[in-house]
Amino acid sequence: MSLAKVYCVTGIDTDIGKTIATGLLARSFRNHGIKAITQKIVQTGCVGLSEDIIRHRQLMEIEPGPADYRGLTCPYVFPVPCSPHLAAELAIKKIDCEVIRNSTAALLAEFDLVLLEGVGGLMVPLSAECTFLDYLEREKYPLILVTSSRLGSINHTLSALELAHHRQLEVALIVYNRLAESDPRIVADSREVFVKYMKKYGYSGAVVDLLPLSEYEETGFPDFYSCFR
């Protein structure tokens, strides 16, 4: 698998582990000599620097840089914690997808690879005219889908795969978030279902586990880069 210039890290829902996955993915790429940077498409419930970007930098073990302070890594930050379209409306603003696109292009002028973290799931509205999925369809970014074993995840994951397939978007990887562990039978069954449906839709990407961060203290963080070789 050849590396793309931009990957979108999306999830089946909010609070599914996208931010941790994005930070660790960037860390892994950088450990292999790839100058990777993360970007957040929109941040709500925050002022100033994006909280998710700050978390990415912590996981990457680097300080926020000029691109962060210039707003390139998160062009829209809104104080009210709600859907991006409403957060923008309450701030008397509108999300312009061209601004996001130009920010990504500016990052690619400085970095080898951009990991664009989404907000919520694929169908989250960015504006009255455009969902996150609409934006991704236009840009043709390959997806890294973050899911879990919690109740409802199979439905949400297969729905996301169906949407991606319908919009002709590549799913390069599924990150199986096991930060909140559940019944081992459910964990194993869900994994089997995800692998099966990746193959059904013609995706060659792997399904990789994301364990509680404390479990990596002795072994080190996972080498996600190996999934892209």
- pLDDT per position as a tens digit, 110-127: 999 999 999 999 999 999
Q: Which residue has the tokens 């297969």?
A: 158
- Domain of residue 203 covers 6-228
pTM of the model: 0.96
For residue 217, being part of any structural domain is answered with yes
Q: Is 40 a catalytic residue?
A: yes
Q: Which residue has the higher pLDDT, 115 or 1?
A: 115
Contact 38, 58 (CB under 8 A): no
Does residue 204 belong to any structural domain of this protein?
yes
For position 212, what pLDDT does the model report?
Answer: 87
Asked if 214 and 221 touch (Cβ cutoff 8 Å), the reply is no
Q: Is residue 60 part of a domain?
A: yes
Nearest alpha-carbon partner for 145 in 131, 161, 133: 161
pLDDT in tens, 162-180: 999 999 999 999 999 987 7
Inside any domain, residue 136: yes
For residues 31-43, average pLDDT: 98
Is residue 1 assigned to a domain? no
The CATH number given to whatever domain includes residue 104 is 3.40.50.300
Residue 85 or 219, more confident: 85
Q: Which of 40, 196, 199, 200 is catalytic?
A: 40
Whether 151 is covered by a domain: the verdict is yes
pLDDT band at 222 (very low <50, low <70, confident <90, very high): confident
* Count of CB atoms situated within 10 Å of the CB of 228: 22
pLDDT score of 1: 60
Number of domains in the chain: 1
